[in-house]
Amino acid sequence: MNVFLCESIHPAALELLKSRAEVVSDWAELGRVHAIINRNLKLPRSVLEQAPELKVIAVHGTGSDGIDMEYCAQHGITVLYVPYENADSVAELIVALSLTLLRKLHLADRLVTSGAPIANAPPQLFGRELAGKTLGLVGAGDIALRAARIMQAGFRVNVIGYSPSLTPERAEELGIACCATLDDVLRQADIVNLGVHLLPTTANLISDREFSLMKPNAILINTSRGGVLDEAALYRAITNGTIAGAACDVFVSEPPRKGENPLVGLDNVICTPHLGANTDEALRRVGVTMVEEIFTVLDGGEARYTYHI
């Protein structure tokens, strides 16, 4: 079997892949590949048409955006994904970004490394505690709920959430409060976490109107997909003082670059290059599971998790 791979995966996953497959990394050789491993690739019809032997696209994690799903359905191409295996890493990043923003740790590091004279505990670095704040979940998937449990158990954070699939009964089981609308979450939360898939219905889900509903001292965390957030509206909300700050691990154009994305470099914005699942543990779990699933499909079996249209 020939598997196309032009992005990095965990060494253990690569070793497993090479035990049974030839690894192809040249785009010009797509015509002979049976599987494609996709971390951050764009796979439109024009690319997929170059791979007539293609049987499976394996998403390294989750998310089908960028893949022509209609073409895959028409040509019997399995699009598999690997949920849950990176959830702890992304959840921990959500907590870390929240603490960093509230305590202004990124600004403290910038001040110290700048070499400028500063006093201990200067006024410009006055922060706020995470303890007792209200976390608002926009989307109540596995990652968001893991972050919520960490904050509840470790910081006595109150958790509210909205999702079309979240019922009051399910919310009670989870130990969170169910909001009837997205607007209710935005009005009440001190920390708003975006945890939704990028779909036509969620594109620019948070824009000017939504920011206007948030508290002036609220912060926003986005580790889901860049397109669910209107970045121009976020820039306006930050620079106008509509909200207090934001941390984004995902962007419409990645990685974010200073001079190209006006959010980069703002004092109350943290920009990271899509590293939510970039831990040794998560990459090993996701990579090995993904390769095993590729083998299963190419051997004639069925993957556990697949996307459909």
Active site residues: 225, 254, 274
Helix locations, 75-176, DSSP H: 87-103, 105-114, 142-155, 168-174
Tokens found for residue 276: 């939510």
- Measured in degrees and rounded to the nearest 5, phi and psi for residue 277 equal -105, 15
For strands 158-162 and 35-38, give the pairing: unpaired
Do the Cβ atoms of 227 and 203 come closer than 8 Å?
yes
- Measured in degrees and rounded to the nearest 5, phi and psi for residue 68 equal -75, 90
Do the Cβ atoms of 207 and 177 come closer than 8 Å?
no
Rg (CA), the chain: 21
**What is the spatial distance between Cα 97 and Cα 170, in angstroms, rounded to a whole number?**
27
Cα dihedral 96, 100, 101, 105 in deg (nearest 10): -170
**What is the spatial distance between Cα 96 and Cα 249, in angstroms, rounded to a whole number?**
12
